[in-house]
Amino acid sequence: MNQPLDTRIFDRAAEFAIKAHGGTERRGKGFPYIIHPMEAAAIAATITNDQEILAAAVLHDVVEDTEVTADELRKLFGDRVTDLVLHETGPREKGLPWRTKKQVQIDQIRMADRDSKIVAMGDKLSNMRAIASDYRRVGNNLWSRFHAPGGKEDIEWYYRGLAEALMELAGTFAYQEFITLLDQTFGSFDCSTPHLVNMDDYEESGAGFYATSYNHRDGVTMIKLYNETVDKNVALEEIRNAHNVYKMHIPCPLPGRFVTDGRRYGAEFDRIKPKMSFARLVSMHPEKADEVAHRFARLCRQLHATRCDTTLFESEKEHALAEIARYPFFNDQDRKRVCDFVRHVPDECSCLHGDMHIGNVITTAVDGQESTLGIQEDFWIDLGDFRWGNAMFDLGMFRMISVDEDEELMRNLYHLDIASLRHIWDVFICDYYDIKSASFKAEIEAMLDPFAALKMIHLNGIQPIPEALQRFVRRAFNLDKS
């Protein structure tokens, strides 16, 4: 049975909008205009149940496209609803060049508050659905219907600008649908040419082993710049992977442009607020260790249950074989034995993060603060190694961390001591595999040790691994067994 809800203001708004748009057609569609504002309200309702926002969504075109005035709207529906409608109303100046007029709209949305952006999202996604549908039917003949002097190029410019202006809603299904339709209609976002950024617009927010993060002063975006010694193709691979991962609706921050400050290269992302890595969260709140381990297990199972598009990403098996060929501590017999192991790993098409550990998930569930992104709380980051294959390759990465004995390194990378990391591993792996006995857990860990060794081989390609880890690699593959 439906639950009671006070919909009086929305009901009045819908009735008012029906009368205001009465007798008018949605241009070129052959159906009543009111269908569009109703759809806009339905889209907004996937983000919020705030009745005034929904009222504004259904009223969003009455000032711009009918004889209704803002004063009339204010008397009937109050200041908040009216202001939300006016934020979605285009400039009234006559004779403005097309791009100038559209840039005013983009800037107006970019500077608006979240509530106004929800109204705009309803309108723009409804429009984008119509464009995508018409494009599938009539192809490039569609663009002559628009007033844009540059045709398809102008329309793409406008909707890409809207996507950037609405980034605050990146965690919503409506925004993800908007991006998907945008790419289906105009092609995937070209991120091959680096965009020069002015570092005066950014503040450093964190530094890692290979890269430094900076938040834009506008509070909307951030960039990750790799060290000067890192080849620019590493950053390019990350941003390309991130775009493809996002299009598969795997939770991750919305990726933006391939960027450079003139010396370093990196990637731009929507800034998630508030946010903290799982590792940092446990370091600050040790009592949350078990909760984080369970959440990480759930997130990993969801990732590994997702079938990967093998045309977009590299095979983890092929990547591992290439790294084994370069590993300097193997003789030919060792190398053949390890390659044979990899080749006999059962083939799967699961999505793999490639660098799967609790430092590469960020959460908005920080210190009791509510997420600004709706229901989604946990996001994958650092997607440069995203590939496809058997989930055991991914699990080997986290297993590797649980057996590493370098206390200082673990603290530097994960902000946790070895004992804490091993506890999280124990809870995680028992949850992931639904392990009920110590003997089964030991069996699973022994099965994963060779995959942990493969990740150590991968790390050796970045910097030589210490002798203790070299010995682990040999033990994991029984290379010293007579």
Active centre residues (catalytic): 64-65
If we measure between CA atoms, which residue out of 59, 62, 50 comes closest to residue 5? 50
Type of residue found at 8? R
Q: Which two tokens stand for residue 145?
A: 């219907």
Question: Which three-class secondary structure state does DSSP give residue 34?
Answer: coil
* Distance, CA of 155 to CA of 158 (rounded, Å): 5
Q: Helices 407-414 and 418-433 meet at what angle, rounded to 10?
A: 70
Helices (H), 305-416: 316-326, 332-343, 391-403, 407-414
Type of residue found at 98? W
Sign of the CA dihedral with 368 first, then 373, 374, and 378 last: negative
Residue 152 Cα to chain centre, angstroms: 27
Residues in the chain: 482
Q: Kindly report the number of other CB atoms within 10 A of residue 372's CB atom.
A: 13
Cβ neighbors of 282 (< 8 A, separation 6 or more) are 288, 289, 292, 358, 415, 416, 420, 424
Residues 337 and 292: beta-carbon distance below 8 Å: no
* Distance, CA of 35 to CA of 32 (rounded, Å): 6
Produce one character per residue of 224-259: b if its CB has 16 or more CB atoms within 10 Å, e if not. Answer: bbbbeeeeeebbbbbbbbbbbbbbbebbbbbbbbbb
